[in-house]
Structure 1
Amino acid sequence: MLIDCNLKFYQTLNVQSEFNIGLLILYIIEGSSNISINGKTKKYKSKDFIIINDLDHYRILSAKKNVIASLCLSRVELDYFFQFNKRYYINKDKLDSSMLRFYMNKLIVNYLNNKRKKEKRNKVFEHLNQLVMTLRLYRELDETVEYSMTNDINKAIDYMYHNYKNKLYIGEVATKSLLSVRWFSDRLVEVTSMRYRDLISAIRLSYS
């Protein structure tokens, strides 16, 4: 895992519509932002800690004077480095934001101050590990969430993750998930805003 690829800072972060694969953590350093997650919009202010779970839809609208830290962990990284199985999601209603904010601040400070010092770089990973291990305390099985229509799509996406190394055709994924190709293709775009070939490419890229 390369922390330079995971942790980014934005003065203005405007995202019209995205479908998240993995775990996205936003930390408002300065200013405020309107963020919509699965259709629910809320205004977040300085020092707020926002979790965007796997398979969430989100939109972000921030002002020019904002400063936002974005930490993105793919499904692969979560599973490989943190044994954070994708069957779980973070229950955001139970978060202890003060503890998470503490580790996020430590992570940011060490990243900015010691970016080029190899002996100090381990501190960055140490704080990242502490942050993710704290998040593990708020995991819940995704069976507790009512997905309705998207539940079938989620099963199909899981099948794509488990078989990404193979030559994977849309017909096989649809059949294994007990769906018709047309229904699966239409609903996949509706749920993820991505076509099949784009999604399988994104999954393979995350493993590369």
Structure 2
Amino acid sequence: MRTALIIGASRGIGHEFTRQLLGSGWKVYATARSESSMEELRTLGALPLKLDVASTESISGLAWQLDGQELDLAIYVAGIFGPHGHANHAPMTKDFDSTMHTNVLGAMQLIPTVAPMVEAARGKFIFISSGMASITDASNSGGWVYRVSKAALNMAIKTASLDYRDAALVAMCPGWVRTELGGPEATLTPEQSVADMLSVIESLTLQDSGSFRNHAGAHLPW
């Protein structure tokens, strides 16, 4: 039985990854912040772990919760959009800090704990990024704090891939998905997006580490 860790599984894309992997016979560790979310994940069949990626103390406790578990797959889904403003409005410090902490620092603090567990299985460590992180494709400044945070996440993934050679570390854009973050007008359902990404993930090899892909597997420009 293959083992996965979904970081940020209480709702949206993370919840759907958990559901589909369980349906395919995986053993799934799934993180959430609240007891009620953990209970719902337990009911689904997952092994819930309490984790707040915005808390360094919480992150430091993940290693003993997993107790040296080898991971065929880890997916960092946790993220927030933050302020929707453009570059003609300076972001508030608290909004900038919370967005960067969740989207970037949380991932960077978890990598040294989780990546060795993925390496032990020669597995895959996927980070949910966004096409809005692409510097090449940027066409407007909308959501510029989110854009900056995901571009920073991409750099963290790319550089970390150079240190963890026995795991495939890959940034993935899930597409525009009908979640709380994506909104009701989005073009993809969580079910469609996750099914597409799991198909791409299955095909990834160590040679793909350090790449930036969309939900259909196409390479995205940095």
Shorter-normalised TM-score: what interval?
under 0.3
The structure with the larger Rg is: 1
Task: Choose between structure 1 and 2: higher strand proportion.
Answer: 1
Structure 2 length-normalised TM: 0.26
